[in-house]
Structure 1
């Protein structure tokens, strides 16, 4: 519903200043504050499926919240990156360019979709036998969009995300394709992502202070989200669901790892701070999914 979607956007927007306040109130360094509002559902999606609530009303609302939060987070971290690298004026210009590129891409895709009869025939007949066409198309558009964003000084990850949004708009019959993407992503790319994460952990920087900072980062991720979760009551969530919802968006593993690289490349955080963020990422990705699954069992027993 449009009204509920408005309050979901409001929640995601208000999460930024409240995350800052939560992080600063716990005494976290300013360098850590930037990553506090990030939302990602990379790990949450398979957990939703395992918990058997993805097709419930709550599961669908969680997907909408997570999707809105993830897209907003990508724009947010890209703006922060541009702000730290180029200053306010160029950051605003580059963000506007990003939106213009997205709108033009959607308009072009819509025009192409309406004019090519052959395209409509192929889309109507998507099956497991021809999904390779769309996977190749996705890889090609991802490479092109990531390269374009690299050229204009924005993060390539944003270009990749936008290419996925455009493809998602064009291809309506997505169930079969989603399965192929899911198998490929979680069967190949995600394990490599975890290998990269472990490889990035430099144990030489681990100390008591770094460990404590990492745990505090993990705590802030939940506290900030739960602290303003009352807004989601206006988005159709029930009071008893608010801790559950907050847990679901409190382990943004993929974007936290991406933010470590982004902030490290521009020298905004030190190697030791990178390790602290990584520890916070691991902490939140281990603790909160377990708590989420416990709540999921309770929810299923009570509502299904």
Structure 2
């Protein structure tokens, strides 16, 4: 490792250490602070970043771990408490959002990837907001969390479909890839179910796969093995490895639900080290002219407005669920700050070749704006429900 790489790594680690404290003072999400830190050091220090093998690798690995955690941390237990009617209505809500997303993309004459931009949903910020408001165990908070979880699952599978479309178009090969992926997921779930049954018969072996806190941390090693196997196989299938990481986390969460220790321990590694490097690297690749250009700022604000607009236009669907009328006026705001997935879409767009650096930077700016503005609005309008 060269002296330059050591210096770059030192600066990134310094940012990882400082930004949670600074972000808390500024009352912004830590991920936004990390992106801003990356922008700052890129534009104030005379260092080149794009050719750093160490930083680029750690950023990519951080992205992979982020997507794995997105699948692993979905609250599958919470989904079990939802009625079939609500499950159908919640899924329909996002189908309507996607329809409006297509309509807005066509009207604005934007690239097709903007359907994802307008529609993606993530619970990465929603969960801590609900927890902060002491709503996580209340009926409304639980319903919003379930709504967001269903939206995140639909969003990530939509990204997979778009990935296949950008690579193969509407073709037989694309259909074959979807079938291969479906078969692969089914076989993986069956394998993990058999593993769960095996551990039920031989519980003393469970620590090899699930237990953390032991000297060899076999549970963490199992997670990384699961992650890398899926990344490799998704690459063989011609699917973005990062999406394979999400699928592997989701399948583990579906199949081995007694995995709280793993979620916690893996989250320490992910959120404590690898994921912040990814967000700082996003800032390092940010085109600062996007923040200096009035047109770019207008575009970013337009994206932020459309994200919440199409959710409220679709909210009539929620009237057919167990949401009360006043809750229907609040719930769409809770699904309108998809920071992690919106940043992910910007990076996918660049890798697909459908977004240039300025457009990707504009989307990162949109993600930051939405994650600063909308959580605070959600807290304000949901505050009366906290007293119930």
Q: TM-score, normalised by structure 1?
A: 0.90
Match of 2:110 among 11, 25, 29: 29
- Residue deviations 1:197-242 (CA, integer Å, cap 9, x gap): 3222111344111110011011111111111112122221122122
Aligned equivalent of 1:134: 219
Q: Which residue of 2 aligns with 1:157?
A: 242
Structure 1 runs (4+) greater than 6 angstroms displaced: 124-127
Q: Which residue of 2 aligns with 1:287?
A: 373
**Are residues 170 and 266 of structure 1, via their aligned partners in 2, closer, same or farther at CA, if it must alter by over 3 Å?**
closer
Matches within 5 A, 1:51-62: 51-62=133-144
Correspondence for 1:5 among 78, 81, 87: 87
- 2: CA distance, partners of 1:137 / 1:113: 14
2: CA distance between counterparts of 1:237 and 1:122? 44
Equivalent of residue 186 in structure 2, options 103, 110, 131: 103
Q: What residue ranges of structure 2 are gaps of 5+ in the alignment?
A: 1-82
Aligned to 1:296: 382
Mapped partners of 2:180, 2:110: distance in 1: 32
Q: Deviations over 1:150-193 (max 9, x none)?
A: 22211222211111122112322233433334444333344223
Q: Distance in 1 between matches of 2:218 and 2:211?
A: 11
Answer yes or no: is the 8 Å Cα contact 1:210–1:276 preserved in 2: yes
What's the secondary structure of 1:88's corresponding residue? Answer: coil
Q: TM-score, normalised by structure 2?
A: 0.71
The number of residue pairs the alignment matches comes to 301
Secondary structure class of the residue paired with 1:36: helix
Structure-2 change in CA distance of 1:142 and 1:266 (3 Å):
same
Q: CA deviation at 1:103?
A: 1.1
Q: Contact 2:135–2:386 at 8 Å: present in 1 too?
A: yes
In the alignment, structure 1 residue 215 sits paired with structure 2 residue 301: yes
SS at structure 1 position matched to 2:117: coil
Give the counterpart of 1:72 among 135, 146, 154.
154
Moved more, 179-188 or 282-291: 179-188
Confirm or deny: 8 A CA contact 2:122 2:339 kept in the other structure: yes
| CA RMSD after TM alignment | 2.4
Cα distance 1:118–1:228, how it changes in 2: closer, same or farther (>3 A)?
same
Instruction: Give 1:128 deviation, angstroms.
Output: 5.8
- SS of the aligned residue for 1:173 comes to coil
Matched, 1:197 2:282: yes
Given that 1:51 and 1:297 are in contact with CA atoms closer than 8 Å, whether structure 2 keeps it comes out as: yes
Q: Which residue of 2 aligns with 1:187?
A: 272
Match of 1:166 in 2: 251
Deviations 1:242-278 (A, max 9, x none): 2321111111111111111211122111222112211
Aligned CA distance change for structure 1 residues 245 and 135 (closer, same or farther; 3 Å): farther
